[in-house]
């Protein structure tokens, strides 16, 4: 250890002290993790295996934040980020790690979390990746807007750890069919001179630009999110976009007046064209609206649904299935198309309405949907079903759902998780010795290249009645 400020360092770091450290891991934000004198040190732009001189900046609880002064050793998996603002923008966190390195890291993180939090040392299948689409994979963008005191419109994602917008004209993780419009729309919004502030800290105005694309159909839906409808020339601008770009099938205004973390509000106004675009998913035709929740990586979402269908094909053909937290039926509808009877459960009425519309659109009479609290609905109807599919939010399953599963014990459970920590917690309660299930397969999948996010499909089989 060396220091340019102190001849001898105490056991507790002091801001300004400089030492040499070796990175051992990344945290959930993509920052490098190291240890020095039993302190956890967090350093941005450092990859596992790399050695660098760092300077302590400040203490944060039982950790110390530091900055990299200069690199001493780098790893071969480091690369120049594909995006020139990647180091500033908070949209991506690990663009400086190559695609293969990202896959290895995510596989390792999943294994470590399942073992540490769930005591699960089961075999994990190789992560599903698509290196040909590690960029340009996102089918949707919701981008904050802000007009500064000089009247310049800023459009971009927030700087890491702040609400300061990093201005951009393109984003390489977005589908090219979205990316191509950013600079044009930004220029038009600049000329309109509407007030803009994503946080509403300076008053009413437009807040976000939303663009969604059907990756199979190439249809585009443009949305302005605003706290007000009082935007002079709004309909003229919308009609101009609609006439200018044939791929744009609709332009909408979404009203979000609340100062909270919800980007979209409940009210959507049609400005031009149609409220929905069409997407093809697992050979089905789906309608997607401004507020529809749909996986942002269409191709990878299809792959994991096909994996689930292959697993279900090993069961009896007349089984009854529940899809809990079904959303618009992204999983339910392909299950129904495969010939099974399925009931989807979802809290949000708008999603259920969209699911019913898409079931009717695809002539899937064997798919039905119930709206309400999933835990309460599941307690009422699970006993009449053989297979339970779970796709919960990041917080995982609540205890009432766990108790219902342990009480009824359906023959098979499929659990698609977007958070390995809550997956580990929930699986620990469901599999032996605490529960009646054993893990048949663990399939990780990378829906979000260039970030630390990882999803995993856990397939469980009942082994005791």
Q: Spell out the per-residue pLDDT of the chain, length 465, in tens.
A: 334 444 344 578 889 999 999 999 999 999 999 999 889 999 999 999 999 999 999 998 889 999 999 999 999 999 999 999 998 998 999 999 999 999 999 999 999 999 999 999 999 999 999 999 999 999 999 999 999 999 999 999 999 878 899 999 999 999 999 999 999 999 999 999 999 999 998 888 999 999 999 999 999 999 999 999 999 999 999 999 999 999 999 999 999 999 888 999 999 999 999 999 999 999 999 999 999 999 999 999 999 999 999 999 998 778 999 999 999 999 999 999 999 999 999 999 999 999 999 999 999 999 999 999 999 999 999 998 999 999 999 999 999 999 999 999 999 999 999 999 999 999 999 999 989 999 999 999 999 999 999 999 999 999 976
Consult the annotation and say whether 325 binds a ligand: yes
CATH architecture of the domain formed by 138-281: Beta Barrel (2.40)
Sign of the CA dihedral with 184 first, then 185, 191, and 195 last: negative
C-alpha–C-alpha distance, residues 26 and 82, integer Å: 20
- Give the pLDDT score at 10: 53
In the predicted model, what is the mean pLDDT of the chain?
94
Q: Look up 418 and say whether it is catalytic.
A: yes
Domain with CATH 2.40.50.1070 in the chain: 138-281
Consult the annotation and say whether 295 binds a ligand: yes
| Contact of 221 with 191, CB cutoff 8 Å | no
Bridge partners of 412, per DSSP, are 387, 461
- Give the pLDDT score at 5: 41
Q: Which two tokens stand for residue 442?
A: 């663990």
C-alpha–C-alpha distance, residues 207 and 196, integer Å: 6
Per the residue annotation, which of 92, 282, 371, 418 is the catalytic one? 418
Domain with CATH 3.40.50.150 in the chain: 103-131+297-462
For domain 103-131+297-462, give the CATH superfamily: Vaccinia Virus protein VP39 (3.40.50.150)
Which residue in 235, 206, 241 sits closest to 221, CA to CA?
241
Domain with CATH 2.40.50.140 in the chain: 18-73
Select from 3.90.700.10, 3.30.70.890, 2.40.50.140, 3.50.50.60 the CATH code of 18-73: 2.40.50.140
- Give the pLDDT score at 352: 96
How big is the CA angle at 299 (ends 298 and 304), to the nearest 5 degrees? 100
> Could you count the other beta carbons within 10 Å of the beta carbon of residue 198?
24
> Could you count the other beta carbons within 10 Å of the beta carbon of residue 9?
18
- Give the pLDDT score at 460: 98
Consult the annotation and say whether 391 binds a ligand: yes
Q: Tell me, what DSSP letter sits at residue 389?
A: E
Consult the annotation and say whether 346 binds a ligand: yes
Helices 99-118 and 420-430, interaxial angle, to 10°?
Answer: 40
């Amino acid at each position: 250890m060396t220091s340019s400020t102190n001849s001898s360092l105490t056991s507790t770091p002091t801001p300004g002290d400089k030492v040499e450290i070796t990175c051992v891991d990344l945290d959930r934000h993509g920052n490098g993790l190291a240890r020095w004198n039993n302190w956890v040190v967090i350093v941005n732009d450092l990859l596992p295996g790399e050695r660098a001189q760092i300077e302590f900046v400040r203490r944060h609880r039982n950790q110390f934040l530091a900055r990299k002064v200069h690199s001493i050793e780098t790893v071969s998996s480091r690369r120049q980020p594909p995006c020139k603002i990647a180091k500033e923008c908070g949209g991506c966190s690990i663009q400086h790690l190559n695609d293969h390195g990202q896959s290895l890291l995510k596989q390792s993180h999943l294994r470590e979390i399942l073992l540490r939090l769930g005591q699960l040392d089961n075999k994990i299948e190789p992560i599903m990746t698509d290196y040909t689409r590690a960029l340009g994979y996102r089918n949707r963008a919701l981008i904050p807007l802000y007009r500064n005191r000089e009247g310049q419109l800023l459009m971009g994602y927030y700087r890491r750890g702040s609400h300061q917008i990093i201005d951009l004209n393109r984003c390489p993780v977005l589908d090219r069919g979205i990316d191509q419009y950013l600079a044009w729309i930004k220029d038009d919004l600049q000329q309109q001179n509407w007030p803009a502030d994503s946080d509403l800290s300076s008053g009413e105005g437009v807040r976000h630009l939303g663009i969604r694309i059907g990756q199979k159909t190439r249809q585009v839906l443009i949305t302005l999110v605003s706290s007000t409808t009082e935007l002079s020339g709004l309909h003229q601008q919308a009609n101009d976009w609609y006439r200018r770009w044939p791929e744009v099938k609709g332009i909408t205004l979404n009203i979000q007046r609340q100062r909270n973390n919800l980007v979209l509000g409940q009210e959507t106004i049609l400005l031009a064209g149609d409220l929905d675009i069409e997407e093809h998913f697992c050979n089905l035709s789906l309608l997607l609206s401004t507020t529809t929740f749909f996986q942002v990586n269409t191709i990878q979402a299809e792959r994991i649904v096909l994996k689930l269908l292959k697993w279900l094909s090993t069961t009896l053909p007349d089984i009854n299935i529940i899809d809990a937290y079904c959303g618009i039926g992204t999983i339910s509808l392909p299950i129904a198309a495969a010939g099974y009877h399925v009931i989807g459960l979802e809290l949000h009425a708008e999603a259920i309405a969209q699911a019913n519309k898409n079931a009717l659109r695809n002539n899937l009479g064997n798919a039905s949907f119930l709206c309400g609290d999933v835990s309460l609905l599941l307690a009422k109807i699970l006993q009449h079903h053989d297979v339970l599919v779970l796709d919960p939010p990041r917080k995982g399953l609540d205890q009432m759902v766990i108790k219902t599963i342990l009480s009824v014990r359906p023959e098979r459970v499929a659990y698609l998780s977007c958070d390995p920590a809550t997956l580990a917690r929930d699986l620990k309660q469901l599999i032996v010795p605490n529960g009646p299930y054993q893990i048949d397969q663990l399939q990780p999948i990378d829906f979000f290249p260039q970030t630390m996010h990882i999803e995993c499909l856990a397939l469980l089989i009942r082994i005791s009645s």
